[in-house]
Amino acid sequence: MSTQILNLKTELTTELNNILEYWSKQTIDKKNGGFIGQIDCNEFKNFEAEKGSVLNARILWSFSAAYSITKNEEHKRLAKEACEYIINHFYDAEFGGIFWSINPDKTPKDTKNQIYALAFTIYGMSEYYSISKDEKALEYSILLYKKIQEYSYDPINKGYFEAFTRDWQPIEDLRLSDKDANEKKTMNTHLHIVEGYANLYKVWKDETLKNDIVELLEVIETYFIDKKTGHLKLFFNENWVEKPDVISYGHDIEAAWLLLQCAEITENTALIERYKKYAILLTDATFEGIDPVDGGLWYELEPKENQLMAEKHWWPQSELMIGFYNAFQLTNDQKYLDVVLKNWEFVKDYILDKKNGEWIWGIHQDYSKIEKDKAGFWKCPYHNTRVCIELIRRTEN
């Protein structure tokens, strides 16, 4: 192993523990129980903030996945608490879904079934089962998988619909967030359904589930990967008519490595070979989003106007490092490793909060700090713990 890689592994091992220390010490909601709904960019703790299911599912995944490396019993205990909190307060016992959000007093707030949230709950629960063998975690993962297949799967055109009401009826506003197009099928949700399903298959070798993963990867290959540009197509209607939108560099590079990992879990040789090619295609397309000055990854590009959203957020940097390291492993080409090493320097210089811990939301073009949450609905410990976990594992040999 080269000195460069050894140093990277050492630093990411330290960083993994630093991130988890922040979430262990700062995000416990001592007033209402569970994890706090929001800590702002100035470390102000908002105990009255609503609590998001995605945040809680990602906390569950992060502590569970990290435990397999750290063997820190505190991480396992917090994963257990996160699992029980989701089952007791986010799981909808009446209709069998996941509340999008709850109030601090644990009552449901937004009761819609956003399939993205169900997928992340499967991802977290199955990861927790892998370290705990807690049958309840596996049972709820399977229940949610079956709900998605029952209501979200499109048997006519394939793929999955975005969202439903609490009782699984059609819903007008399908969006994950205000910035998204209101369309019935999205790349982001399909990416995370396949991620959750693949993680579940690792601990529950069900043939039907395996076939669903293979079909999902074939759907993604057919509709979401642009073979000409190497970017992802993001939004479609129910009949797979594309609604063109931005280029999302973070999603391009996240998909590059994550979809190959999902393909590998199926052990489908032909699919794996195709996704190795897509991994390089998507990674190479991401080069255009990297700032050559500092090695940071820009957020998005509006292709029609060639208008860059000139911000560098924390999560695309995390995915960049995994995706480019994955390309380095596939090709042994030093240019990919160089991107990883330069981006890690960028993260250390501008994204790590050396005073308070964790990572800031990101920076503007002039390197000023983006004044958004340190922890919250969309600011979770999932992307940055995952880059540490993935690269520690990938540098074992």
pLDDT tens per residue, range 92-119: 999 999 999 999 999 999 999 999 999 9
Rounded to an integer, the average pLDDT of 25-40 is 97
Chain mean pLDDT for the chain: 97
**pLDDT of 182:** 80
- pLDDT at 2 exceeding the cut of 70: yes
| Cα dist from 248 to 64, 116, 245, 254, 300, whole Å | 28, 18, 9, 10, 5
Is the pLDDT score of 264 beyond 70? yes
**pLDDT computed for residue 181 by the predictor:** 79
Q: What is the mean pLDDT of residues 216-233?
A: 98
At residue 1, does pLDDT exceed 80?
A: no
pLDDT band at 397 (very low <50, low <70, confident <90, very high): low
**DSSP three-state, residue 195:** helix
What the block records as the tokens of 176 is 């994950």
The answer to whether residues 66 and 20 touch, using CB atoms and an 8 Å cutoff, is: yes
H or E segment and range at residue 382: helix 382-394
pLDDT 10s digits, 62-83: 999 999 999 999 999 999 999 9
Are 169 and 231 within 8 A, CB to CB?
Answer: no
C-beta of residue 372 within 8 angstroms of C-beta of residue 323: no
Please state, in angstroms and rounded to a whole number, the distance separating the CA atoms of residues 324 and 280.
9
**21 burial type by CB count under 10 A (0-12 exposed, 13-18 middle, 19+ buried):** middle
pLDDT surpasses 70 at 172: yes
Find out whether 278 and 266 touch, Cβ atoms under 8 Å.
Answer: no
- HSE (side-chain half, CA atoms, 13 Å) at 205: 3
Which pLDDT value is given to residue 175? 83
Q: Which of 178, 187, 209, 208 is nearest to 196 (CA)?
A: 209
Q: Where are the domains of the chain?
A: 3-394
Q: What is the percent of the chain with per-residue pLDDT over 70, rounded to a whole number?
A: 100
What distances in angstroms separate CA 147 from CA 53, 92, 125, one per listed residue? 17, 12, 15
- Band of residue 180 on the pLDDT scale cut at 50, 70, 90: confident
Angle among Cα 122, 126, 127 to the nearest 5 degrees reads 115
Structure-model confidence comparison of residues 148 and 183, the more confident one = 148
* Cα–Cα distance for residue pair 271/204, rounded to 1 Å: 21
Instruction: Name the fold adopted by 3-394.
Output: Glycosyltransferase (1.50.10)
Q: Distance (Å, rounded) from C-alpha 195 to C-alpha 213?
A: 9
Helix, coil or strand: residue 175: coil
**Using CA atoms, how far apart are residues 391 and 62, in angstroms rounded to an integer?**
15
pLDDT per position as a tens digit, 303-355: 988 999 999 999 999 999 999 999 999 999 999 999 999 999 999 999 999 99
- Give me the sign of the Cα torsion angle 267, 271, 272, 273: positive
pLDDT for position 173: 81
For residue 5, give both structure tokens: 């890689």
